[in-house]
Amino acid sequence: MKSIDQYIDLFTRNREAFDKDSPEAMNRLRMAAYGSLRGKSLPEKGDEGYEKTSLDEMFSPDFGINVNRVDMTADIAASFRCDVPNMSTLLGVCVNDSFHPVSGLEQRLSDGVVFTSIRNAATQIPHIVEAYYGTLAPLARPEVALNTLLAQDGVMIYIPDGVTVEKPLQLVNIFATPAPVMAVRRLLVVLGRNSSAQLLVCDHTQSAATDCLSSQVVEIALGHGARFDYYDIEESSPLTRRSSNLFARQSKNSNLLVNGITLTCGTTRNDYSIDIDGTDCETTLAGMAVGSDNMHVDNSSIIRHLAPHCNSRQLFKYVLDDHSSGAFEGSILVTPGAPFTEAYQSNRNILAHPDARMHTRPQLEIYNDDVKCSHGATTGQLDNEALFYMRTRGIPEREAKVMLMQAFMTDVIDTVRMDGLRDRLRHLVEKRFAGAEALCGECRSSCHKKENDNEKPND
């Protein structure tokens, strides 16, 4: 049986429970997804011509789904990292796939900004939910259709015209379950004309001994002149599988930065699709992965230039150790209607162990002469000459390797436009290369104290 069939069967047996309390926009699209999935299967390894993660294999175990929306509690403080530079954010938490606003969040939002569940947003701003939900994520892709079929709620962020959100928004996704579970996560972000915001999303798994699967679809719509930063940090467990699909559309003169960081995981596949659909847009898509043990990290991207006078830059870097593996497929499409495009793509990788493996395939597809485009990919080992030089200066070999790997990731970290987060990432990456977790012994008590003081815990 194809892995997708068990979920279709689950839906048909529990149709009423899936629809119960879900917004009309989700239920209506759910049936379109059901029709789209009939006779289809999830992509298998090699379907795209290189060693991408097999989604059919990823979804094949019988993960449980919390169809009846039974409330599950989580020790939220235990998932926070406190020995990093302090950041003040507007925080919401998703336990498995249920949104829990931190106390006082709504009171801290102003100027019509919405940061809530899609269910609540459907009553607060129904016209926005109806106009945007499911419009960017194509049901022709089976993994998107499956997510749309099973999603019962999600997270909605809306920034009205002309509003600048000074404090970064933060969404913490936590797996907290005593048994294997599949979380069906949905995120919809809409920015109005000349608005601005930053969002940090963090993925954590509470129990390293529990099998978890995250099916995630993110839709980002930017109005004219909007500016948005999206940062996605995964620190999960070896038994956590993640399939994440991000779709973004930019209008005229908008500026989008997307940065995906994988520090720890089991198997992760991130797919990014960005449509530049207005003139004079700026787009940055960056990412890094630190692999060890048997981790596998797969990043796939496509940036479509549909309008003239736009610039885009893609930068992905991997450092893979032990038996870890990675894959990268990056595409740039320049259509006939997009003259004077500048688009650059780079993938650089270091294999820190003979058993580590990396597969890479950069691509350009250009249908216009008035462009400046380039792409490139390299995979190699640490610079032995630099390593030898550092050892002759008295630096131990292990410390020298950590310093070189840290320096290798610098330009990805430098794309971050949130000062506190940039400092945090330097710290977390250094800790990761050194083989230590970025945990603080006083984390539990300090975070609970902040909650009792009506402050937010920092992730």
Neighbours of 22 (CB within 10 A): 20
Residue 277: C-alpha distances to residues 43, 55, 239, 378, 435 (Å): 28, 30, 39, 31, 43
Residue 251 has pLDDT above 50, yes or no: yes
Domain ranges of the chain: 3-278+416-452
Segment 200-210, tens digit of pLDDT? 999 999 888 89
- Token code pair at residue 67: 């169809």
Band of the pLDDT at 442, cuts 50, 70, 90?
very low
List of residues 6+ apart from 280 with CB closer than 8 A: 252, 253, 309, 310
Measure the CA–CA gap between 401 and 321, rounded to whole angstroms: 12
Burial 326-355 (b: 16+ CB within 10 A, else e): bbbbbbbbbbeebeebebebbbbbbbbeee
Measure the CA–CA gap between 206 and 286, rounded to whole angstroms: 27
pTM of the model: 0.92
State residue 449's pLDDT score. Answer: 35
As to burial, measured by CB atoms within 10 angstroms (0-12 exposed, 13-18 middle, 19+ buried), residue 167 is middle
Measure the CA–CA gap between 371 and 253, rounded to whole angstroms: 18
Q: What is the largest CA-CA distance in the chain?
A: 69
Whether the CB-CB separation of 392 and 361 falls below 8 Å is answered with no
State residue 441's pLDDT score. Answer: 33
- Token code pair at residue 141: 């892709």
Q: What percent of the chain has pLDDT over 70?
A: 90
Adjacent-strand bridge partners of 258: 230, 285
Q: Write phi, then psi, for 122 (nearest 5 degrees).
A: -65, -20
Segment 412-430, tens digit of pLDDT? 999 999 988 999 999 999 9
Select from 301, 262, 98 the least CA-distant residue to 185.
98
Strand 90-95 to 98-101 pairing: antiparallel
Neighbours of 184 (CB within 10 A): 24
Cα angle for residues 440, 446, 450 (degrees, 5° grid): 140
- Return mean pLDDT, the chain: 89
Whether the CB-CB separation of 248 and 273 falls below 8 Å is answered with yes
Between 228 and 52, the more confident residue is: 228
Whether the CB-CB separation of 305 and 276 falls below 8 Å is answered with yes
Whether the CB-CB separation of 109 and 159 falls below 8 Å is answered with no
Segment 316-365, tens digit of pLDDT? 999 999 999 999 999 999 999 999 999 999 999 999 999 999 999 999 99
Band of the pLDDT at 62, cuts 50, 70, 90?
confident
State residue 451's pLDDT score. Answer: 38
List of residues 6+ apart from 444 with CB closer than 8 A: 75, 77, 78
For tokens 């209607």, the residue is: 337
- Token code pair at residue 300: 């796939």
Band of the pLDDT at 178, cuts 50, 70, 90?
confident
Band of the pLDDT at 235, cuts 50, 70, 90?
very high
pLDDT average, residue stretch 214-229: 98
Measure the CA–CA gap between 139 and 133, rounded to whole angstroms: 12
State residue 11's pLDDT score. Answer: 94
Whether the CB-CB separation of 247 and 277 falls below 8 Å is answered with no
